[in-house]
Amino acid sequence: MLIRDATAADVPRVVELLMQMTIAPEPARERDPHDPAYVRALADIQADARQRVLVVEETGRVIATATLMLLPNLSHGGRKVAQLESVVVDERERGRGVGERLVRYCVEQARGAGCFRVQLTSNASREAAHRFYRRLGFGDSHVGFKLLL
């Protein structure tokens, strides 16, 4: 398994993976994975050195993805916060340690960047994901809210 930064060629596969975890009624579910808006979004992310879309590749196939953001912060002595988003392993590849390897890689990247915390949110209905994150040492600490625009 190779963990690397996503490229424009990876975008349709990354979008397919993200659709595996999308929960109704989020409107992005109906989008075409080849929509050029996704490639533009990746280019915007790549233009910011504090953001990375990562993929796990195995035998030439992308099987997992995550987005890691290193956010400037005024608390905790001005140390950065790492935000982990859109973590998904292909449903056919789960249970083999792929997600654990990817999340641990992200944690190490955050540690190396001087972050004091790695945080993430997970849909309240994704109980298996919650067990996975707890097993990796993440704790329940906050209640999250979102406003769809």
Average pLDDT over residues 51-76: 97
Q: What pTM, to 2 d.p., does this model score? A: 0.91
Whether the per-residue pLDDT at 38 is higher than 70: the answer is yes
Q: Is 147 contained in some domain?
A: no
Q: Determine the pLDDT at residue 84.
A: 98
Which residue in this structure is represented by tokens 């409107």? Answer: 27
Element (H, E) at 118: strand 117-120
Task: Report d(CA 58, CA 64) in Å as an integer.
Answer: 9
Residue 48 DSSP class: S
Write down the pLDDT at residue 145. Answer: 85
Comparing CA positions, the residue from 62, 103, 68, 100 lying closest to residue 83 is 68
Any domain includes 54: yes
Any domain includes 33:
yes
Q: Evaluate whether residue 144 is within a structural domain.
A: no
CATH number for the domain spanning 111: value is: 3.40.630.30
- Flag whether 146 is in a domain: no
Band of pLDDT at residue 31, cut at 50, 70 and 90: confident
Query: What integer pLDDT is reported at residue 22 of this predicted model?
Result: 65
Average pLDDT over residues 63-83: 96
SS3 state of residue 38: helix
Query: How many C-beta atoms lie closer than 10 Å to residue 26's C-beta?
Result: 11
Strands of the sheet containing 117-120, edge to edge, are 2-5, 51-58, 61-71, 81-89, 117-120
CA atoms within 13 A of residue 101's CA, in its CB half-sphere? 19
Q: How confident is the model at residue 149 (pLDDT cuts 50, 70, 90)?
A: confident
In this prediction, residue 27 carries a pLDDT of: 55
Is pLDDT at 58 greater than 80 in this prediction? yes
| Residue 64 resides in a domain | yes
Q: For position 23, what pLDDT does the model report? A: 58
How many structural domains does the chain have?
A: 1
| Percent of the chain predicted with pLDDT > 90 | 80
Whole domain around residue 49: which residue ranges? 2-135
Nearest C-alpha neighbor of 140 from the set 110, 112, 119, 111: 119
